[in-house]
A and B are shown apart, each in its own frame.
Chain A
Amino acid sequence: MINILIGVISGIVSGSGMGGGTILILCLSLFVGLEQHVAQATNLVFFIPTSIAAIFINIKQKIIDWKLAIPISICGIIGAIIGANISTKMDVSLLKRFFGIFLGFIAIFQIYEMVREYRISKKTHNNFNLNKLRRK
Chain B
Amino acid sequence: MYKKILVGIIAGFINGFFASGGGMILVPAFIYIFGEDQKKARATSVFCILWMVIASGFFYYNQNFIDWKVGLLCGIGGVIRWNNRSKAFKKIIR
Contact = CB atoms under 8 A, between A and B. Distances in A.
A45 B57 contact: yes
B4 A68 contact: yes
- For chain B, which range describes its interface: under 10, 10 to 19, 20 to 34, or 35 or more residues? 35 or more
Contacts of B24: 18-19, 22, 106, 109
B65 A41 contact: yes
A17 B45 contact: yes
B44 A19 contact: no
B93 to A, nearest CB: 9
Interface residues of A, number: 73
27 contacts: A3-B77, A4-B73, A4-B76, A11-B81, A18-B27, A19-B21, A21-B21, A28-B74, A32-B70, A42-B71, A45-B74, A50-B81, A50-B82, A57-B86, A57-B89, A61-B89, A63-B39, A63-B40, A72-B11, A73-B52, A76-B11, A80-B12, A80-B55, A80-B56, A83-B14, A85-B16, A98-B17
